[in-house]
Amino acid sequence: MCGALRPADSGKKAVLMGWVNRRRDLGNLIFIDIRDRSGVTQVVFNKERDPAIHQKAEGLRNEYVIAVVGTAKQRVPDTVNKNIATGEVELIAEELRILNESKQPPFLPSETVLPNEEMRLKYRYIDLRRDTMQYNIELRHKVALAIRDYLSAQGFFEIETPFMTRSTPEGARDYLVPSRVQPGSFYALPQSPQMFKQILMISGFDKYFQIVRCFRDEDLRADRQPEFTQIDLEMSYPQPERVWEVVEGFLTAAFKASGHEIKTPFPRMSYDEAMRLYGSDKPDMRLPAMVDVRSAFTPEEREKFAAAFKVSPDFTSLLIRIPKAGDISGTERRTIGTYGAFAHSQGTSFVSLMSDPNRFARDYPNSLEPILKAAGVEAGDLWVLAVRKADSRQSANQFYQTCGQLRLDLAQKYAAKHGFFAKTGDPAKDYRFIWVTDFPMFEWDRESGRWNAAHHPFTSLHDEDMAKLESSFDTTSDPKSALGEIRALAYDVVLNGTELGSGSIRIHRQDIQSKIFRALGMTEEEARSRFGFFLEALEYGTPPHGGIALGLDRIVMILAGADSLREVIPFPKTARAVDLMVDAPTPVSEAQLKELGIEVKK
């Protein structure tokens, strides 16, 4: 391998095969860096020593594939290259074979500046030759392997489930596959193997996992691809804590595989708390929480503030703190709230911001100190007070969420100053995990005017909330229904503000499952027609069970320090869900369509 030679090998014969990474032609002396996935080695062609082979080497160009036979030699001290692992040796070429030539590539893998992503994706095979991509793909392999090994050792079976299955209720849009044998009918690609893994529990495979591709036809983001890989698992008879333990176990193994020792158990926080403190159900714990400072106002100044901002006297006032943002000009301060997700979410329309410390000190001199103290503000920190406009129809949670977005926008803008997103080498700081628990069971869907399952309709609820469920059947089309207060036995694992995975304890009794469908405004007949097979299965002795699924791509992305899933997926799709290399999707022939009984509207 091209990255393997060491001083101890000097004098040995070696055969290296790989690409010409760089050539340095000094005339009678030619150096070639030969590269494969393991690294690079310098090969020397000396005209004096061997004119024939030297002449052949003159014809070498970037990205030619060659085989070199030679003798490894320790370099003399002042010619050592400390930048590469093989820098203390070189290969004295004795035989050179050109295995294949290369056209001039649109860009070179050895180039330090990246071409734009369109180019990288179109010529992905060249892009993947680059060090970082080779590293990321290797990392992905190691992480997946570590997880497989861990789960297998814990008694989990990896079991495959169908890709061609039936369209699932609710959730994301399905990718559909037309049936030729039954024209007009379609398979759907799984958004997740949810029902199959529950069926596996009913089938007695009490510990299941699968590293499996899932498909969702929704718009893409940097951390969302239409096909992505989940670490999916399910087990019988667990408390949530047991599921968390398994996840913490395989994440420990996965992080160890990439050289990081993480600490378990992860901290836990309820959904309500996460919303109040971070304005998000996936809090980024690397940054300070938001603090409600309303009680730190003096009574008089609270009145004054409420009047000035036209809010009721018991207003919620969140202080968002960005540490060490340093001096910020008035002009810059006025742009707060005009960029990023906060502006996009129309936060400015119902959230008022106060971000001028001088003005605040002037108008509320007696409250300043207690407020800054309550929020832990230190010199050099940027802080913004956010209050909800009185006439707003937005819910308290929407207010928290919007403030949470502002918190992230600001943190991103001043990342270079506070440095909380930079890797320190200390896993306890670099990787802030948290379990978010007790999600709401249902969420109101304004468009369809009914309640939806927040997680999915097979999620269990807290025993104590059962009464609320049973008393709410008359209010299933009321946005103020008590359904909104029911807590699910659902949990997310979050890392640095990214949702890694989501799971729950499932419903294992048919009578409770029916009640959930009723709450979702579904009649018995509708439920039967949509997943009758599943309801029937529940009636044949279903053990209590629960599980979770984690995004492998996201885990690897964070470990790789990448900003996009495309850096850890060999063949990803663009924001318009196009594969630029193979040019998919494409129209298909009339004949193909006809066979499937499909007519395309133009």
Report 422-481 residues binding RNA (CB under 7 A). 452-457
Which residues between 334 and 363 bind RNA (CB under 7 A)? 340-341, 344-346
Q: How far is the CB of 594 from RNA (least distance, A)?
A: 27
Selected range binding RNA among 3-11, 24-32, 353-361, 584-592, rule: CB under 7 A = 24-32
251-270 binders of RNA (CB under 7 A)? none
Site for RNA in 36-55 (CB under 7 A): 42, 44, 46-48
Q: Which of 28, 264, 395, 523 binds RNA (CB under 7 A)?
A: 28
Minimum CB distance to RNA, residue 548 (Å): 11
373 binds RNA (CB under 7 A): no
Q: At what angle do helices 552-560 and 240-257 cross, to 10 degrees?
A: 40
Work out whether 98 is an interface residue with RNA (CB under 7 A).
Answer: no
CA dihedral 460, 461, 463, 469 (to 10 degrees): -120
Instruction: For residue 200, give the 3-state DSSP assignment.
Output: helix
Q: Measuring CA to CA, which residue among 298, 362, 303, 359 is closest to residue 333? A: 359
The CB-of-73 to RNA minimum distance in angstroms stands at: 8
Choice between 56 and 566, CB closer to RNA: 566
Q: Which residues of 18-39 are buried (b: 16+ CB within 10 A; e: fewer)?
A: bbbbebeeeeeebebbbbbeeb
How many residues at the interface with RNA, by CB under 7 A? 75
Cβ within 8 Å of residue 215, ≥6 positions away: 174, 175, 189, 190, 191, 226, 227
Contact present, 513 and 169 (Cβ < 8 Å): no
Q: 75 to 94, contacts with RNA by CB under 7 A?
A: 75, 78-81, 83-84, 87, 90
What is the rounded distance in angstroms from the CA atom of residue 70 to the CA atom of residue 96?
A: 9
Question: Is the Cβ–Cβ distance between 179 and 152 less than 8 Å?
Answer: no
Angle ∠(98,104,106) on CA atoms, nearest 5: 135
Contact stretch for RNA (CB under 7 A) within 4-12, 140-148, 508-516, 576-584? 576-584
Query: Per rule CB under 7 A, is residue 213 in the interface with RNA?
Result: no
Instruction: Give the nearer residue to RNA in terms of CB position, either 27 or 155.
Output: 27
Instruction: Find the largest Cα–Cα distance for the chain.
Output: 95
Nearer to RNA, 160 or 314 (CB): 160
**Out of 11, 52, 104, 525, which residue is the one contacting RNA (CB under 7 A)?**
104
Tell whether residue 216 is a contact of RNA (CB under 7 A). Answer: yes
586 binds RNA (CB under 7 A): no
Q: Applying CB under 7 A, which of residues 1, 3, 31, 227 lies at the interface with RNA?
A: 31
Report the distance separating Cα 67 and Cα 91, nearest Å: 12
Among 95, 131, 218, 485, binds RNA (CB under 7 A): 218
Q: Do the bridges between strand 39-46 and strand 157-158 make them parallel or antiparallel, or are there none, so unpaired? A: unpaired
Residue placing its CB nearer to RNA in the complex, 253 or 519: 519
* Least Cβ distance, residue 376 to RNA (angstroms): 27
E strand or H helix at 414, and its extent? none
* Residue numbers 150-179 binding RNA by CB under 7 A: 168, 170-173
**CA–CA separation, 71 and 529 (whole Å):** 73
